[in-house]
Amino acid sequence: MMKINKKERNRAFILFVVFSIWVLFIVYKLVKIQVFDYTKYISKVKSQCNRIFSLHPKRGTIYDCNGDVLAISIRAESAFLSNKDNKESMEIFSLLSKQVRLTYREKKNIKERINKGRKFIWIKRKLEDREYEKLKKIKNSLNSTSTLGFVDEYKRVYPQKTLAAHVLGGVGIDEQGLCGIEYEIDSLIRGKGGKVKVLIDARGKIFEIEYLKKPVAGKDIFLTIDSSIQFFVEEELRRTVEKFRAKKGSVIIIDSKHGSILAMASYPFYDPVRIKHTSQRVLKNVAVSFLYDPGSTFKIILASSALENEVCHPKQIFNCYNGTFHIKNRTIHDIHPYERLTFEEIIINSSNIGAARIGLRLGKENYYRTLKRFGFGSKTGINLPAEEYGILNSLKRWSNVSVVFLSFGYEIAVTPIQMTRAFNVIASGGYLIKPNILKSVDGIVLPQVKKTKIISSSTGHIMTSIMTEVVNIGTGKQTKIEGIDIAGKTGTAKKIKNGSYENSYVSSFGGFFPANNSRITMFIVIDEPKGKFYGGEVAAPLFKTITNRLLIYLNIFPELDKGNEVRI
């Protein structure tokens, strides 16, 4: 009996020891989990039930000068997959991929992320309404551990499609500015981002959304662009470029007195919504980034400099050598040979030899100072990205014939916006005005840009008179409109290819109206037109067509000959 009791006691002791060890092990495990590994496991739990998303703020709306919307951000749903089981997630994705538009690369990327066991996978950002409705039906029908979810975001929309695309630019998937005004003042338009925590229950369903930091919307922007003018400028530019099978073209229209950009068109156009599918060549804004030799439009700078430095007067006669002029082993030709021309006739008839003779009389130091005052070789400072400086060699790098070739627009590279500003010096009565494209930011009207007087009023008046005759009887005759005085200048320049000038041309025309009290300054560039290529045949007629439409839109009425009036 004593033996049995002893055995039972031993057995009980062993069981007690085992039980105690088991209890101690459990206690150890609990202490380890609750105390020593607390941070590790709480992080794991949070990662399983929490998702933190960065929220992109609503971008500011971009308006034209009249309040018409050019770019606006609207709400859009983005779809994601919460991956709990790779096999289930792949089955769900096979359903989703039939309902949304995805590229082969996007589909491949999603499959790779699922196979790697990534917990959060974007299916598609910023769904179209039709896509969202289809995916929502799939979500409601799912009964799996992996879940389909949606997050509210903003999507950039351009209601007027391709209108002013090169001015506006475009944005990326995260609403970041990529080019145009969207990029240049992105910090103002973009706003400040936020963060949101999404809580997911054991079944993988979202049951709470908590804002950690609310996003701050971007500022609204008003541009100086007039969408009505922009529309018909783009329409006429497209017709001209296509008619002459040119590579590209640009038209810039500014308010003569204030330098405000009313229209800036570059062709070919593109759709800002499809910016990531657009080539860099098309995205390039010709108006601010196209570098070219200006050719004869540059003669107005030469003439202004000669008058301002008082080395010439309008009636002064120059020998034009019957169309062929030799200087320092170089030969200059005129299209039409002239024996003698006055200073003003040289500009009216666009004589290269006459311009060279004026340049020689002016001298390189005087001419260089004028070019610098007009801002050549420097950016205009317009609020648009990728503006080129242009190329103006320092005086030390000028050869003994540089002043000759610069006189009719070679040995220098300019942009259309620089030439627009230069023409506007004469249109504004002698002031260099920085072109501006921003009217107001967040309701605050921006101050008018500073004007710098760089030529005298008398020089401006003489140049206006000469440029009016260019249109009336000279190379710009195809710009003439009965009853309205237009001042202008044609330009035709050979392009440099492979280091030498070839028979490819840039045709241009710049001008302003009404000539003696200008409201509008316009500059046109057409790159490599086929067939006809002279500025007076390609760019000048486009100037006239646009001007006719502007006269109606701006209520500028031609002063017709009273002898032709019809009295009732």
86/145 Cα distance (integer angstroms): 10
Among 525, 256, 299, residue whose Cα is nearest residue 415? 525
332/326 Cα distance (integer angstroms): 6
Q: Which residue has the tokens 């019957």?
A: 322
91/144 Cα distance (integer angstroms): 10
Query: Which residues neighbour 140 within 8 Å (Cβ) at sequence distance 6 or greater?
Result: none
55/32 Cα distance (integer angstroms): 38
β-strand partners of 452: 432
Instruction: Answer yes or no: are the C-beta atoms of 481 and 488 closer than 8 Å.
Output: no
H-assigned helices in 70-201: 86-96, 104-115, 129-141, 165-168, 180-184, 186-190
Query: Which residues neighbour 20 within 8 Å (Cβ) at sequence distance 6 or greater?
Result: none
DSSP track, 285-342: -HHHH--B--GGGGHHHHHHHHHHTTS--TT-EEE-GGGEEEETTEEEE-SS--SEEE
434/261 Cα distance (integer angstroms): 10
Which pLDDT score is estimated for 10?
A: 73
485/545 Cα distance (integer angstroms): 15
Distances in Å between the Cα of 431 and the Cα atoms of 423, 456, 461 are: 10, 9, 13
Which domains are seen in the chain, by residue range?
Answer: 51-202+216-223 (3.90.1310.10), 227-271+282-555 (3.40.710.10)
166/169 Cα distance (integer angstroms): 5
152/209 Cα distance (integer angstroms): 11
Sort 134 into a burial class: Cβ within 10 Å, 0-12 / 13-18 / 19+: middle
Instruction: Answer yes or no: are the C-beta atoms of 164 and 80 closer than 8 Å.
Output: no
Query: Which residues neighbour 105 within 8 Å (Cβ) at sequence distance 6 or greater?
Result: none
Nearest-5° angle of CA 409, CA 546, CA 458? 50
H-assigned helices in 97-244: 104-115, 129-141, 165-168, 180-184, 186-190, 227-243
Instruction: Write out the chain's pLDDT in tens, 568 residues.
Output: 555 566 777 777 777 777 778 777 777 777 666 666 656 555 555 555 566 667 678 999 999 999 999 999 999 999 998 888 888 889 899 989 999 999 999 999 999 999 998 888 999 999 999 999 999 898 888 877 768 888 888 999 999 999 999 999 999 988 899 999 999 999 999 988 777 776 665 555 555 666 677 778 999 999 999 999 999 999 999 999 999 999 999 999 999 999 999 999 999 999 999 998 999 999 999 999 999 999 999 999 999 999 999 999 999 999 999 999 999 999 999 999 999 999 999 999 999 999 999 999 999 999 999 999 999 999 999 999 999 999 999 999 999 999 999 999 999 999 999 999 999 999 999 999 999 999 999 989 998 888 999 999 999 999 999 999 999 999 999 999 999 999 999 999 999 877 778 889 999 999 999 999 999 999 999 999 999 999 999 999 999 999 999 999 999 988 766 555 544 4
